[in-house]
Amino acid sequence: MRPCIIPPSVIFLHRTGIRQPCDRLPTTPIGLLLNSLMYRLKTIITTFLLTLTFYAGAQQRMVVTYRTVSADNRPLDIEAFLFESVDEQPHFPGGDGAMMKFINRERQYPAQAYRQGIEGRVLCSFVVKPDGAITAPEVVRGVEESLNKEALRIIGRMPRWVAGKIGDTKVPVYCIIAIAFRR
């Protein structure tokens, strides 16, 4: 006969008539205590191993090759780390609040789109280089051509960002932001 390790709640269910897939259940107080301790130890070890697994997964660095076109219409491949895979993410100088103020100050709603009631969020991507400069802005998901062009114009006018880092090394980072157009 083999003993089994089961949670205390299942022991209660066993005593009410539900059978368990083991040959012998502990019935003495010491047996119940040891069973409970073994169950808790198993839970702690499992939690530790899962935490260790997730931590190891978080340490993997994700790099994307970003294909764009240079100013003289040549294809250009840029390698950059994904935003979530760096130790310190790049950010607009002054934080998100300052970035929203900048976008609201710079945004010029295209007149025809405004008259037609066209609204939406333009999702744009770009790479923040190690020196903080923004390069390769593109529309990931657009709304309407004039709104898309305005969003790219705003990104092109942004000041240098605080660069992303892995350890103490500044690295290029691929970022995505949404620029909203509401009437």
* 117-162: pLDDT as tens digits: 999 999 999 999 999 999 889 899 999 999 999 999 999 999 999 9
d(CA 92, CA 74): 29
d(CA 23, CA 114): 75
Same domain, yes or no: 21 and 53: yes
What is the pLDDT, as a whole number, of residue 35?
67
Whether the predicted pLDDT of 80 surpasses 80: yes
Residue 51 counted as domain residue: yes
Range of the domain at 20: 8-58
Same domain, yes or no: 87 and 173: yes
What is the pLDDT, as a whole number, of residue 26?
60
Same domain, yes or no: 47 and 76: no
What is the pLDDT, as a whole number, of residue 62?
75
Same domain, yes or no: 93 and 80: yes
Structure tokens at 112: 């025809």
Q: 162: Cβ–Cβ under 8 A, 6 or more apart, which residues? A: 90, 91, 92, 93, 132
Same domain, yes or no: 45 and 100: no
Same domain, yes or no: 39 and 82: no
Distances from the Cα of 162 to the Cα of 89, 91, 155, 175, angstroms: 9, 5, 15, 13
Residue 157 counted as domain residue: yes
d(CA 78, CA 135): 10
Same domain, yes or no: 46 and 127: no
Same domain, yes or no: 145 and 80: yes
Same domain, yes or no: 130 and 175: yes
Is there a contact between 80 and 172 (Cβ–Cβ < 8 Å)? yes
Distances from the Cα of 140 to the Cα of 22, 102, 123, 176, angstroms: 57, 21, 5, 8
- Please say which residue of 58, 75, 90 terminates a domain: 58
Is there a contact between 128 and 134 (Cβ–Cβ < 8 Å)? yes
> What percent of the chain clears pLDDT 70, i.e. is strictly above it?
64
Residue 3 counted as domain residue: no
What is the pLDDT, as a whole number, of residue 16?
43
Residue 130 counted as domain residue: yes
pTM over 0.75: no
Total domains, the chain: 2
Residue 146 counted as domain residue: yes
Mean pLDDT of the chain: 78
